[in-house]
Amino acid sequence: MSTPQDDLLQKRKQHVPQGPFNITPAFIREARGAIMIDVNGRELIDFAGGIGVLNVGHCHPKVVAAIKDQAEKYIHTCFHVVMYDPYVELASRLDGLAPGDFPKMTMFANSGAEAVENAVKAARYAKQRPAVIAFENAFHGRTLLTMTLTSKVKPYKLGFGPFAPEVYRMPFAYCYRCPFGLKYPACEVACADYLEDFFISNVAAESTAALIVEPIQGEGGFITPPPEYFTKLQKICQKYDIALIADEVQSGAGRTGKFFAIEHWGVAPDLITCAKSLAAGMPLSAVIGRQEIINAPHVGGLGGTYAGNPISCRAALAVLEILLADGLLERARRLGDILQARFSDLQQRHEIIGDVRGKGPMLALELVKDRETKKPATDEAKKLVQRCYDKGLVLLSCGNFSNVIRTLMPFVITDDQLERGLAILEEALHEIEKA
């Protein structure tokens, strides 16, 4: 006898193309906090958070109340036609939260990819230069430009060319798999200094409008640079008048225990993109940046019909209240401490864990077949995700080799739910190693 989930899966296969990938076969019925209930009534602990979208949890009461209140007033006017206060108020709040002692402005779009596109547009316009430098292992979106900026070919780029011009890619600070074959700290962060050489052999500094970088690479494997990295990059960018863009689509809105992850490095980027958890599941993204850059494009040069929808803006204002006024950002930091201690312990007891990295509760385990060779344990990571799902835990893999397990659980997860999830993870790890 078929279940409700079986029926929906069959309907999905009939009416939805295969392109939109599904990590689990589950269909959701309802969700609260860090728990999802599927249509068969099965409870799932959420360590995925809608791919980093639900830092404040599923259906937080303050977010739901803000959405309901706004929906009863007006749903859409298009900010370009009739303006509204939630857009301006949220822009003002984000201007104040972004690092840097200089005048800032904020504009809104719908998705992380749109934010990246607009950040690059503003930088190119302000600098009057065409080139953009991105990094290996980077992920910036699925539109033509952001797909070009993205590093991993399959599944994101395969068959979708030709790509956008004037995009150049250099190695990132992947200390566990150093592209230069060096060791930190003896390397003196040569991967950052390499930018000067990159201008000689790849693209001239005088042609470069922007360098775009994730403080912690998301889809690339939660790769986390050493303390000196961004300071060095920023100095080189300032030397050549190149805009430094921090893509905080996944790492922002408190994911690392600070509102913006780049704060961990004490650097103030020229532009910051933010999305995902900014509005707790409502479609909203932002570009926050130096006034002279983001305000450079002519009137009508930036925007979009749905950009900065009032319901999404109200949801985001509620998120800021929850994170900052209600103390959830502090809970995120405590959660990060717990996870760091547990993952370090897991690494000591499970040979398959080659590296533990990240900031705050944005942490990852890189799985390897052998710690000496560091051969990626891709199949094992896939099996681990499946076994965890079978046991009631939803988590995600990432990385160029799809061998990295990442944590994106809501910060509102209870201690009991967290403990149950971690117990499932360790049990599945033990089973994978024994197989």
Q: Is the pLDDT of residue 220 over 90?
A: yes
Query: What mean pLDDT, rounded, does the chain reach?
Result: 98
**CATH code (residue 272):** 3.40.640.10
For residue 271, what are the β-bridge partners? 245, 289
Q: Is the pLDDT of residue 44 over 90?
A: yes
Inside any domain, residue 65: no
Confidence band (pLDDT; 50, 70, 90) for 1?
confident
Inside any domain, residue 68: no
CA distances from 143 to 147, 199, 275, 412 (A): 5, 27, 15, 32
Point out the domain boundary residue: 325, 346, 361: 325
- Per-residue tokens: 6: 């079986």
Inside any domain, residue 64: no
Burial of 140 (0-12, 13-18, 19+ CB in 10 A): buried
Kindly state whether residues 185 and 106 are assigned to the same domain. yes
Inside any domain, residue 309: yes
Q: How many CB atoms lie within 10 A of CB 12?
A: 15
Confidence band (pLDDT; 50, 70, 90) for 264?
very high
> Looking at residue 355, what is its pLDDT?
98
Point out the domain boundary residue: 300, 325, 350: 325
CB contact set of 194 (below 8 Å; sequence gap of 6+): 170, 171, 180
Kindly state whether residues 278 and 410 are assigned to the same domain. no
**Bond prior to 269 in cis (omega within 30° of 0):** no
**76, 304 Cβ separation under 8 angstroms:** no
- Over residues 165-175, mean pLDDT: 98
Inside any domain, residue 395: yes
Kindly state whether residues 162 and 261 are assigned to the same domain. yes
Q: Is the pLDDT of residue 36 over 90?
A: yes
Count: domains in the chain: 2
Kindly state whether residues 81 and 218 are assigned to the same domain. yes
Kindly state whether residues 194 and 337 are assigned to the same domain. no
Closest CA to 229 of 292, 141, 170: 170
pLDDT-above-70 percentage for the chain: 100
Q: What is the pLDDT of residues 375-398, one digit of tens each?
A: 999 999 999 999 999 999 999 999
User: Which residue's entry shows tokens 């201008």?
Assistant: 199
- Per-residue tokens: 182: 């060096």
CA distances from 110 to 60, 282, 318 (A): 21, 9, 18
- Over residues 214-218, mean pLDDT: 98
Inside any domain, residue 262: yes
CB contact set of 337 (below 8 Å; sequence gap of 6+): none
Kindly state whether residues 33 and 78 are assigned to the same domain. no
Kindly state whether residues 187 and 46 are assigned to the same domain. no
Kindly state whether residues 404 and 341 are assigned to the same domain. yes
Range of the domain at 402: 4-59+327-434
Inside any domain, residue 67: no
Q: Is the pLDDT of residue 435 over 90?
A: no
Residues in the chain: 435
Confidence band (pLDDT; 50, 70, 90) for 162?
very high
Q: Using the CB atoms, write b or e for 262-296: b if 16+ within 10 Å.
A: bbbbebbbbbbbbbbbbbbbbbbbbbbbbeebbeb
Kindly state whether residues 312 and 400 are assigned to the same domain. no
**264, 215 Cβ separation under 8 angstroms:** yes
Residue 335 identity (one-letter amino acid): L
> Looking at residue 24, what is its pLDDT?
96
CA distances from 429 to 260, 293, 382 (A): 32, 48, 11
Q: Is the pLDDT of residue 367 over 90?
A: yes
**111, 141 Cβ separation under 8 angstroms:** yes
> Looking at residue 80, what is its pLDDT?
98
Q: How far apart are CA 29 and CA 36, in angstroms?
A: 8
Q: How far apart are CA 381 and CA 398, in angstroms?
A: 9
Kindly state whether residues 281 and 381 are assigned to the same domain. no
Kindly state whether residues 305 and 165 are assigned to the same domain. yes
CA dihedral over 53, 59, 60, 66, signed as positive or negative: positive
Inside any domain, residue 125: yes
Kindly state whether residues 107 and 221 are assigned to the same domain. yes
Give the pTM.
0.97
Q: What is the pLDDT of residues 312-354, one digit of tens each?
A: 999 999 999 999 999 999 999 999 999 999 999 999 999 999 9
- Per-residue tokens: 145: 């430009």
**CATH code (residue 373):** 3.90.1150.10
Burial of 2 (0-12, 13-18, 19+ CB in 10 A): exposed
For residue 272, what are the β-bridge partners? 246, 288
Q: Using the CB atoms, write b or e for 35-72: b if 16+ within 10 Å.
A: bbebbeeeebbbbbbbebbbbbbbebebbeebbeebee
Point out the domain boundary residue: 264, 290, 325: 325
- Over residues 423-434, mean pLDDT: 96
